[in-house]
Amino acid sequence: MNEKDPAAGPGKRTLRRDFLAVRNALPASDLREAAGALARRALELPELARARTVAAYVSVGSEPGTLALLDALRARGVRVLLPALLPDNDLDWGEYTGPGSLARVQHGGKMALFEPAGERLGADAVTAADVVLLPGVAVDARGMRLGRGGGSYDRVLARLDRAGAHPALVVLLYDTEVVASLPEEAHDRPVHAVVTPSGVHRFPC
């Protein structure tokens, strides 16, 4: 999600800018190669192997690519949910049934997003997911995630907590985005694993 972060301190903002600058400099060939490697690595995760429903997202720009993974999950018979950004930065959800089920949506001056074009299932639909794939720009050695700054997925994680839902939380990143330490705020929650083109890192949540 390409959104402004009103609460984050300068440490997060500076780090986010630096990580995104590195991403944006990656050549298209590297992005394609990384997307294929990420899909292969992610599909080896036991959590995804046994999942019936996965909440995911469609990558945009230089984000680690997700479309190959989404299609592979569908081919396995997995129900894939994708987010739709609401005016208050919360997320509604819809089902992914292939590339034809996506619509390109421009949210004001923000980056255009690819969202499910079909029926909206409500913000609570994510609580049925066995795995939630979270976007991010970095994860540290404790599993703390640096997001894009809009707070949308902080709301998702809070909603999961309120519902007593405990899906596996997984972030897709480039290898250089797994770092020793990141700034942490009270609402931040650790993830269970991060997948990069070279492997999987797990954390004791």
> Binding site annotation covers 115?
no
> Binding site annotation covers 146?
yes
> Binding site annotation covers 120?
no
Rg (CA), the chain: 16
> Binding site annotation covers 202?
no
Phi, psi of 201 (to 5 degrees): -115, 130
> Binding site annotation covers 145?
yes
CA 131-136-138 angle, to 5 degrees, is 115
d(CA 139, CA 151): 16
> Binding site annotation covers 149?
yes
How far CA 99 is from CA of 55, 58, 110, 117, in Å, comes to 16, 10, 22, 10
Q: Inter-axis angle of helices 67-75 and 28-43, to 10 degrees? A: 30
> Binding site annotation covers 16?
yes
> Binding site annotation covers 96?
no
> Binding site annotation covers 155?
no
> Binding site annotation covers 57?
no
CA 56, 192, 43, 51 torsion-angle sign: negative
> Binding site annotation covers 12?
yes
Query: How far, in whole angstroms, is CA 152 from its chain's centroid?
Result: 11
> Binding site annotation covers 150?
yes
> Binding site annotation covers 13?
yes
Q: Using the structure block, give the residue that is written with the tokens 């909440």.
A: 55
> Binding site annotation covers 148?
yes
Residues of the binding site: 12-16, 58, 63, 145-153
Annotated binding site for ATP: 12-16, 145-153
